[in-house]
A and B are shown apart, each in its own frame.
Chain A
Amino acid sequence: MAALELRAVSKTYRVGDREILAVDDLSLSAGDGEIIGLLGSSGCGKTTTLRAIAGFVQLTAGRIAIDGNDIHNLPPARRGVAMAFEGYALYPPLRIRENIGFSLLRERRPGGEIRRAVREIAALLDIEDILDHYPAFASAGQQQRTSLARALIRRAPLTLLDEPMSQLDPQLRAQVRTRVKEYLAAHRLSAVFVTHDQNEAISLADRIAVMEQGRLQQFGTVGELKNRPNNLFVAGFIGEPPMNLMAAEVEAGGARVKLLGETDNRAAAAVGELRLNGAAPALDAGRAHIGIRPHQVVLADDAPLRGRVISNQWLGDQSHVLVDLGGLRIVVVSAGRVRDLRKGENIGVNFPPDAVIFFSAKDGTALPRAGGHGGE
């Protein structure tokens, strides 16, 4: 029920005489009812950002507004946000039931209404059977769901969740994600959550903000992040497995591209050549990085790029094949099963021109394609 806006938010911590820039000039805005995921590895600034929205972190610079009203100087209790903490932060002397209903009790809601609301949210998260237990006797997963329930029951204009499902089994996690998403949608609640697990971000969020070293790398839908990454970092981070990235030498006009090996190995000899039919960006001849998503690589016996199979793993619903193109390793994913490929076997791979993405060798930003073909 609220639109969130962060404008040029920065946070600097002082540790001794060092200054650590935890969040660096971050701007993003989320619409009413949108679920935003802050995704990044540990230390990327995502939790600091969440805590700044909640009001536990004083901004060094910038503003935070909910529905157009600045809130960054308000105390946490007056911001209209509910939060589930990574460490659960349950009240130990209260039963699970009382923990969940605590905020409603504080608002002096009638007892019958509180009981109904607690039952409903407990059913949603499958913790009905432990409502009369104390937190100390609940498992980590149950405590985490209790903390989640305590935040969701408030139906606050903005719900903040810090690693909300890290302690759940994979299958339970998938179920809880779906239910939480439906609950938020049913009540038109906005939410921001922090996670290091991209599967969680992908399945729970409407849009994802990828962060690294305090900076926002890209903010967009899953499709945008996967198919049109802003830079090398996002390309190498998103997707499981992430995009294959390699250094290349582009011929003037972009008709032909020489593959040089892994991105951090600048001395590599050319391992092969691609013909991209003018799909390459209009750059002068020279170095670039190129990327292709693993499931867009085509395994073909008659393909010009030749390599050796290093491993072939079947995961039940997909196969992952690691191919060595002579110093350059690429991962090929097939949604079916590649049964007959053995370790050491010689195989050809093909990069469909449409699937190849170019990045600047200088700063790693994505380059637009020639002729607007498939690009923005």
Chain B
Amino acid sequence: MARLEIDRLAKAFGAATVFDGLDLHVERGETVAVYGRSGCGKSVLLSILSGALAADGGDLRIDGKSVIDAPPEARDVGMAFQNFALYPHMSAFDNIASPLRGQKKPAREIADKVQAVAALLKIDHVLAHSPQALSNGQRQRTSLARALVAEPAVLLLDDPLRNVDAKLRYEMRLEMPNLFRQFESAVIYVTQDSREAMALADRIAILHDGKFRQIGAPQEVYEFPCTAEVGQLLGDPAINLFACESAARDGALLVNPAGCEVNISGRYDLPAAGKYLAGVRPEDIDLAATPAPAPSADADGPARGIEAVVERITPANVRSLLVASTAAGETITVSLPELAAEQVAPKSRAWLSFPADKLLLFAADGGQLIRPNPPAGG
């Protein structure tokens, strides 16, 4: 029995379906990131889980007990809001103590627990302050402490790092998984930042067009998105997608995304002259200042590069983003480590190649992932 079970949950506003038939089980101590673009229904899902909105259909069970008809106060759910939603007329201490007071815990125990969780989040020195007197980061931590203090069965986090600055966001991103491990809640973490989802989640659930399109470990969803669409959703910068055809030559199976020939023998067993959608992540593309040698029949050999002009280079953090265009008019996004990107000049020519072992093929119609063979000897 999972701690939280979402079972065929449905919700519509009038004729507009938000989602239909959502299924998700979250285990004790597990963090699932619900990831999707704005407007995908993430907030509606949280509102239903917390009891602010009624569902149209389906069931919701916490520790095996259906709570779909229970009012918010009877669900054993804690929530940290994107806007923090602190009680402005209470001190930080009273804010954090509120869930314990709601459970009529003795004053002694309340004081101890608030102190403990505040110490864990490093806000024990500001407990007497009112929310107005706190910094943005302290407010965020207070709201998190309030959600955690009663050790709820289910912890809902609504994009809690969206309104804090980069330094704090980064610190919290590293701290939060360790923090959640100390509690036994089932954690639902809603975010629209793919890196945050990758960093924090045990599993990622991709919510898009009213359905969970894929639920899996971050690595699984990132490396093997079940459709081209999911591949595009998760990842910043987004995956490159090119239409391509397969061809057999000299006993090898080749595809030609963006005019770049890639030998996929061994990785895929596909008929020749098939049409596919090829996906390659920007960080997987090799960029060289000179042409690569001709392809060998060996699948592990280097692929033939395609000549392209580097249109612009945008430094991001740690990595830089290069946009290159080929003579045939294809635009390719490449992500290079910052130091490597410093060696590339804007408007210079470069040869790009797609490593065969990172290339993903999707069905040309529908975009379903075509699972590659497991690597030989692996």
* Chain A positions near chain B (C-beta within 8 angstroms): 41-42, 139, 141, 169-171, 174, 178, 196-199, 202-203, 222-223, 236-237, 239-242, 294-295, 310-311, 313-318, 320, 322, 331, 333, 335
Contacts and interface: CB of A to CB of B under 8 A. Distances in A.
A311 B177 contact: yes
Interface stretch (B56-64, B187-195, B347-355, B361-369): B187-195
Interface in B145-191: 165-167, 170, 173-174, 177-178
A294 B318 CA distance: 9
A313 B198 contact: yes
Given A317-B281, A335-B337, A322 B167 contact: no
Contacts of A202: 314-317
Contacts of B165: 41, 196
Interface residues of B, number: 43
Interface of B: 37-39, 136, 165-167, 170, 173-174, 177-178, 192-195, 198-200, 218-219, 222, 234-238, 281-283, 312, 314-319, 321, 323, 335, 337-339
| 5 nearest A-B pairs in the assembled complex, by CB-CB distance | A335-B337, A317-B283, A313-B199, A240-B317, A315-B195
B34 to A, nearest CB: 15
A183 to B, nearest CB: 14
Nearest to A296: B339
A169 B338 contact: no
A41 B222 CA distance: 32
B198 A242 contact: no
Contacts, number: 103
A310 B179 CA distance: 12
Contacts of A333: 318
Given A313-B174, A314-B198, A223 B315 contact: yes
A319 to B, nearest CB: 10
B174 A239 contact: no
A32 to B, nearest CB: 20
A197 B169 CA distance: 11
A17 B200 CA distance: 47
B236 A170 contact: yes
Contact of A169 (B37, B218, B219, B323): B37
A317 B219 CA distance: 11
Contact of B199 (A41, A198, A320): A320
A41 B236 CA distance: 24
Nearest to A318: B318
A170 B194 contact: yes
Contact of A242 (B37, B167, B177): B167
A50 B297 CA distance: 60
Contacts of B238: 171
A241 B168 CA distance: 10
Contacts of A313: 173-174, 177, 198-200
11 contacts: A139-B38, A141-B38, A240-B166, A240-B170, A240-B317, A313-B200, A316-B194, A316-B218, A316-B236, A317-B319, A335-B319
A295 B166 contact: no
A178 B219 CA distance: 29
A27 to B, nearest CB: 25
